[in-house]
A and B are shown apart, each in its own frame.
Chain A
Amino acid sequence: MFQQSFFQLGQYILFIKKVFQKPEKLKMYWIQYLKELASLGLNSIGIVFLISIFMGAVLTIQTGINLENPFIPLYLIGYATRDSMILEFSSTIVSLILAGKIGSNIASEIGTMRVTEQIDALEIMGVNSASYLVLPKIAAAISFFPFLVIMSIIVGVWGGWLGGCVLTEVLSTGQYIEGLRYYFLPYYVVYSLIKTSVFAFIITSVSSYYGYHAEGSALDVGRASTKAVVYSSVLILLFNLIITQLLLV
């Protein structure tokens, strides 16, 4: 098992090296990048919006239920919602969701290209298929995911207000806003965006790797897709811990 893991790691590193080679024609990569921005980024706005609004609402309601002690000021509910969204939910949880949505999409797209010989066709034309197919995806994800996270934070905080102040009236709007403004550290946003960029790289590169090395039939493409989601998710959790240790502790 260890031998297999080292083999996979080595193969992944060689794959990444191939991905980051000089593009044949920058214009073609730019066109691909724009397509990927739409496919990986814009098409994810809906799901990120939906998840964030519910996460924010639930966070506020749950924090409100657990802070019934009269000695703890209610505005801390807003404070807790804000920091939870910034530090963990908008970056890590959204990235885990995107690993499922985008990861499986990338692995199945590239895997299908592999088993239908489209990747071989690119190679025979003299195109570096790994770079042409994967580099625009990585670039698009790294450049667009931070915007998704910022949107998620804003929508999550808004969802918290809807859940806590409008739906359940656990606290007033004034208290919620006071909590949002209480002890705000901009560095937390920077930390969250750094994390997201790393997660974007993990999701796109790992999923592309499994798709690119799919062999055989549609069944193998399905397996590659599952592996892509599982390994991306595990790596996100692992790097969440590492980055948090490095940047916050």
Chain B
Amino acid sequence: MIKIQNLCKSFDEVEVLRDITLSFEPGISNLVIGASGSGKTVLLKSLVGLHEIDSGSILYDGRDFSKMNFRERKEIRKEIGMVFQSGALFDSSTVVENVMYPMDMFTQMSPAEKLERANFCLSRVNIVNANHKFPSEISGGMRKRVAIARAIALNPKYLFCDEPNSGLDPKTAILIDNLIQELTQEYQMTTIINTHDMNSVMEIGEKVVFIHQGKAWWEGSHQDIFDTQNKELESFVFASKFQVHINQLKKASGG
């Protein structure tokens, strides 16, 4: 479980995150939504320590990450997997080397064991016969899936995904969403997903947090979104004509 208490973060006197208090449960998909520039990515990067927070605390199962030194953080980071927006695969390494990298760095496993685990992770994300390809030789969707395989290689307790389906076609995006949800439930990870894709929200949003102007503006599940009276959330959710259309259909059918 991850708890955030009164988290504040600013850059050059511009307040990006304001007094955020949230908690994220394990085993469910926790989605953070919000418009571009609302502070979602800063929140995620603050949670993993890529940005130092100004005040507040971040508790990983009771352990205060924000007050830890570099070495103590390193121990927590070994329990973290992260999927970046771009995939962030190492260009000079092949697919299998990318997945094996965390094991190479932090375990004493034999090469055969590492390869077996890497193949298992890759098969888990439906990547086959691509072990020796370089990231530049595979598609965007495959890169995202390899990034997920690398993130789960060490059985993390916490999984962070920064817009995992951005730039993907709707079908692949849903595949990625479902894959993350499956893995979250299977390994009982605490998963936090940043997205502004409403399809993802509807598909896997067991808990949804709406960030607006740097604040945790609204919390609930994907079912609660349609009943919300929150104007900012409504204007964000129903910004696309597609969603308006869905809403009209729902109202017409009395749903």
A and B physically associate: yes
Distance A120 CA – B101 CA, assembled complex (angstroms):
14
Which of chain A's residues have a CB closer than 8 A to the CB of B90? Answer: 118, 121
How close is B150's CB to chain A, nearest CB, in angstroms? 8
Which of A123-131, A156-164, A200-208 contacts its partner? Answer: A123-131
Question: Does A68 sit at the interface, judged by CB under 8 A?
Answer: no
A123 close to B105 (CB less than 8 A): no
Q: Is residue B238 within 8 Å, beta carbon to beta carbon, of the partner chain?
A: no
Whether A24 and B106, one on each chain, are in contact in the complex, defined by CB atoms closer than 8 angstroms, is yes
Any A CB within 8 A of the CB of B122: no
Q: Which chain B residue shows the least CB distance to A118? A: B88
A126 touches B50 (CB 8 A): no
Which of B80, B85, B105, B106 is close to A124, meaning CB atoms less than 8 Å apart?
A: B80
Q: Which residues of B have CB within 8 Å of A126?
A: 73-75, 77-78, 106
Q: Is there an interface contact between A124 and B74, defined as CB atoms closer than 8 Å?
A: no
Residues 102-121 of chain B: 1 if any A CB is under 8 Å from the residue's CB, otherwise 0?
Answer: 10111000000000000000
Residues from chain A with Cβ under 8 Å of B75 in the complex: 126
Question: Complex formed: what's the CA distance from A28 to B107 in Å?
Answer: 12
Q: Is A117 an interface residue (CB 8 A)?
A: yes
* A118, B91: Cβ atoms closer than 8 Å: yes
**Structural contact, A24 and B86, CB atoms closer than 8 A:** no
A133 to chain B, nearest CB (A): 11
Nearest A-chain residue to B83, judged by Cβ: A121
Q: Nearest residue in B to A24 (C-beta to C-beta)?
A: B105
Please, which residues of chain A bring their CB within 8 A of the CB of B101?
125
Partner of B48, one of A116, A118, A124: A124
A125-B77, A126-B74, A126-B78 in contact; A120/B106 too (CB < 8 A)? no
Contacts A124-B50, A124-B80, A126-B78 given; indicate if A116 touches B105 (C-beta within 8 A). no
Of all chain A residues, the one with the shortest Cβ separation from B79 is A126
- Bitwise interface map of A from 95 to 130 toward B, beta carbon under 8 Å scored 1, else 0: 000000000000000001100111011011111000
Q: Which of A24, A113, A124 has the most CB of B within 10 A?
A: A124
Binding site secondary structure of chain A: helix
- Docked complex Cα distance between A112 and B88 (Å): 11
State whether A121 and B105 are in contact (beta carbons under 8 Å apart), knowing that A126-B74, A126-B77, A126-B78 are contacts in the complex: no
Q: In the complex, what residues of B have CB within 8 A of residue A112's CB?
A: 91
Q: Considering the chains assembled together, what is the distance between the CA atoms of A123 and B52 in angstroms?
A: 13
Shortest CB–CB separation between residue A21 and chain B, in angstroms? 9
Q: How far is the CA of A126 from the CA of B48 in the complex (A)?
A: 10
Q: How far is the CA of A183 from the CA of B55 in the complex (A)?
A: 69
Q: How far apart sit A117 and B102, CA to CA, in the bound complex (Å)?
A: 16
Q: How far is the CA of A220 from the CA of B106 in the complex (A)?
A: 33
* Selected contact of B50 from candidates A25, A113, A116, A120, CB within 8 Å: A120
Give the Cβ gap from B83 to chain A, nearest Cβ, in Å: 9
- Asked if B65 is at the interface of the complex by the 8 Å CB criterion, the answer is no
- In the assembled complex, the Cα of A116 lies from the Cα of B92 at a distance in Å of 13
Please name all residues of chain B whose beta carbon is closer than 8 Å to the beta carbon of A121 when the two chains form the complex.
Answer: 82, 84, 88, 90
Name the distance in Å between A114's Cβ and chain B's nearest Cβ.
11
A120 contacts across to B, CB distance below 8 A: 45, 50, 84, 88
Which residues of B lie under 8 Å from residue A124 when comparing CB positions? Answer: 48-50, 77, 80, 82, 160
Best-buried of A28, A112, A118, A126 by chain B (most CB within 10 Å): A126
Give min CB distance, B82 to chain A, whole Å.
Answer: 5
Taking CB atoms and an 8 Å cut-off, the chain B residues in 1-50 that contact chain A are 45, 48-50
Q: For B50, give the chain A residue with the smallest CB separation.
A: A120
Query: A123 and B50: CB pair below 8 A?
Result: yes
* Complexed CA–CA distance, A118 and B75 (Å): 20
Shortest CB–CB separation between residue B132 and chain A, in angstroms? 17
Cα distance A79–B175 when bound, in Å?
73
A145 to B106, CA, bound (A): 32
Q: Tell whether, in the assembled complex, residue B88 and residue A28 are in contact, meaning their CB atoms are under 8 Å apart.
A: no
Chain A residues near B73: list those with CB within 8 A: 126
Q: Say whether, besides A28-B104, A126-B77, A126-B78, A117 and B85 are in contact (CB < 8 Å).
A: yes
Q: Given known contacts A121-B90, A124-B49, what 6 new A-B pairs fall within 8 Å (CB)?
A: A25-B104, A25-B106, A117-B84, A117-B88, A124-B80, A125-B78
A: residues with CB less than 8 A from B are 24-25, 28, 112-113, 116-118, 120-121, 123-127
Enumerate 18 A-B pairs (CB-CB under 8 Å) in ascending A order.
A25-B105, A116-B86, A116-B91, A121-B84, A121-B90, A123-B50, A124-B48, A124-B80, A124-B82, A125-B78, A125-B101, A125-B102, A125-B105, A125-B106, A126-B73, A126-B75, A126-B78, A127-B105
List the 8 closest pairs (A to B, CB-CB), nearest first.
Answer: A126-B77, A117-B88, A121-B88, A126-B74, A117-B84, A124-B82, A126-B78, A118-B88
